[in-house]
Amino acid sequence: MRGSVFPLVFVTLAAASPAAAFTCALSPDKTSVIVKTGNPNSQPASCTVTCRFAVPEGTASITCTEIIPAGAKDWYVCIRPAAGKNYGAPAGGDETCAKP
């Protein structure tokens, strides 16, 4: 579609584990932050994901930790309320995973 602009409200970033990736997204109504990841390994892994978003004051971070099942894709690490923050564009993030 020419002339249309679609806002990008999620980001997929390379994670510490070479084959894993995570996403940080705002819910469609922008009242929550949704954090997902995958685990391509054959064993569960404990993963911590930090998502950063632009806010009027600078940058806000959300960090979540969860055991991700073996072979999981798009696993919900957490859904956090935006708590009145005006989250803007994704501003990076990182993920670390370790076998439990």
Closest by Cα among 95, 100, 90 to 30:
90
Q: How confident is the model at residue 83 (pLDDT cuts 50, 70, 90)?
A: confident
* Residues paired with residue 68 on neighbouring β-strands, in sequence order: 45
* Centroid of chain to Cα 62: 9
Listed by start position, the domains of the chain span: 10-98
pTM of the model: 0.76
The CATH class given to the 10-98 domain equals mainly beta
Note the pLDDT tens digit of each residue in 22-50: 999 999 998 999 999 999 999 999 999 99
